[in-house]
Amino acid sequence: MTVLKNISMIKDEGTGYFNFLNEYSKPLVCRNSDHFYGIIDGKGTVIVPFIYEDIVTFGNLKMKLW
C-alpha cells in the first residue's frame, strides 16, 4: 500500500470501473491539496498534471485521452 501525499480526494468511479483481477487497471481522477485536478495511476504516479481547476473541464479532457 502506498500513501498518496497531497491528495485530498479521489473521484468515486463505482464498482464497475475497476477490473476484478487488477483494481488499479485504470487511472484515478484526483484532487490535490491545492484544489487542482489530475490523473494518477495505481502506483500514485502522475499521468496528467494537477493543473485543472474544476472537474467538469477536467472530465472533458479525460474523455479525449481514451
Q: What is the pLDDT of residues 29-66, one digit of tens each?
A: 899 999 999 988 877 888 889 988 887 755 555 555 54
Residue 44 lies in a domain: yes
Exposure string over 8-40, b if 16+ CB within 10 A, otherwise e:
eeeeeeeeeeeeeeeeeeebbbbbbeeeebbbb
Terminal-to-terminal C-alpha distance of the chain? 27
Residue 13 lies in a domain: yes
Residue 2 lies in a domain: no
Q: What integer pLDDT is reported at residue 19 of this predicted model? A: 67
Q: What integer pLDDT is reported at residue 36 of this predicted model? A: 93
CA pair distance 10, 38, nearest whole angstrom: 10
Length of the chain: 66
Nearest to 48 by CA among 35, 33, 61: 61
Q: Residue 42: give the domain boundaries.
A: 7-65
Residue 18 lies in a domain: yes
Q: Which is more confidently placed, 63 or 25? A: 25
Residue 1 lies in a domain: no
Q: What integer pLDDT is reported at residue 34 of this predicted model? A: 94
Q: For residue 3, is pLDDT > 70? A: yes
Total count of domains within the chain: 1
